[in-house]
Amino acid sequence: CSAGIPFDGGLRCLCWKILLNYLPLEKALWSSLLKKQRDLYSQFLKEMIIQPGIAKANLGVSREDVTLEDHVSAVKPFPDSRWNTYFKDNEVLLQIDKDVRRLYPDMAFFQRPTDYPCLLVLDPQSEFETLRRRVEQTTLKAQPVARSRSGLTNVSSPLKAAPSSLSEYEVLPNGCEAHWEVVERILFIYAKLNPGIAYVQGMNEIVGPLYYTFATDPNSEWKEHAEADTFFCFTNLMAEIRDNFIKSLDDSQCGITYKMEKVYSTLKEKDVELYLKLGAAPRPLPGVFAFRWLTLLLSQEFLLPDVIRIWDSLFADAKRFDFLLLVCCAMLTLIRDQLLEGDFTLNMRLLQDYPISDVHLILKKAKELQDSK
Query: pLDDT tens for residues 234-245?
Result: 999 999 999 888
* Res. 93: pLDDT tops 80: yes
151 vs 115, which has greater pLDDT? Answer: 115
Q: What is the pLDDT of residue 86?
A: 73
* Least confident interval from 80-94, 102-116, 194-208: 80-94
C-alpha to C-alpha distance for 340 and 343, rounded to whole angstroms: 8
Residue type, 67: T
C-alpha to C-alpha distance for 109 and 106, rounded to whole angstroms: 9
Query: pLDDT tens for residues 247-263?
Result: 777 677 677 888 888 89
Query: Environment class of residue 300 by beta-carbon count within 10 Å: exposed (0-12), middle (13-18) or buried (19+)?
Result: buried
Q: What is the pLDDT of residue 334?
A: 97
Other C-beta atoms within 10 Å of 249: how many? 16
* Res. 158: pLDDT tops 50: no
C-alpha to C-alpha distance for 233 and 241, rounded to whole angstroms: 12
C-alpha to C-alpha distance for 373 and 370, rounded to whole angstroms: 6
Q: What is the pLDDT of residue 156?
A: 44
* Least confident interval from 2-6, 123-127, 170-174: 123-127
Query: Are the C-beta atoms of residues 248 and 256 closer than 8 Å to each other?
Result: no
Q: What is the pLDDT of residue 69?
A: 45
Mean pLDDT of 307-311: 97
* Res. 124: pLDDT tops 70: no
Q: Using pLDDT thresholds of 50, 70 and 90, give the confidence band for residue 295.
A: very high
Q: What is the pLDDT of residue 82?
A: 65
Residue type, 76: K
Q: What is the pLDDT of residue 125?
A: 65
Specify the pTM.
Answer: 0.85
Other C-beta atoms within 10 Å of 271: how many? 18
Q: Using pLDDT thresholds of 50, 70 and 90, give the confidence band for residue 285.
A: low
Mean pLDDT of 32-45: 96
Angle at 29 between CA 26 and CA 32, to 5 degrees: 165
Burial 353-369 (b: 16+ CB within 10 A, else e): ebeeeebeebbebbbeb
* Res. 323: pLDDT tops 80: yes
Q: What are phi and psi of 178, to 5 degrees?
A: -80, 160
Q: What is the pLDDT of residue 217?
A: 94
Mean pLDDT of 138-148: 44
- Most confident stretch, 136-140, 147-151, 196-200, 205-209: 205-209
Share the mean pLDDT of the chain. Answer: 83
How far from chain centre, in Å, is Cα 241?
Answer: 11
Mean pLDDT of 211-224: 94
Q: What is the pLDDT of residue 234?
A: 98
149 vs 117, which has greater pLDDT? Answer: 117
C-alpha to C-alpha distance for 198 and 146, rounded to whole angstroms: 12
Q: What is the DSSP string of 223-279?
A: HHTHHHHHHHHHHHHHHHHGGGG-GGGTTSTTSHHHHHHHHHHHHHHH-HHHHHHHT
Give bridge partners of residue 113 from the DSSP assignment: 178
Nearest residue to 350 via CA among 361, 342, 360: 342
* Res. 51: pLDDT tops 60: yes
* Least confident interval from 42-56, 171-185, 279-293: 279-293
Domains of the chain: 11-55+81-138+173-245 (no CATH), 247-372 (1.10.472.80)
What is the chain's Cα-based Rg? 22
Q: What is the pLDDT of residue 141?
A: 44
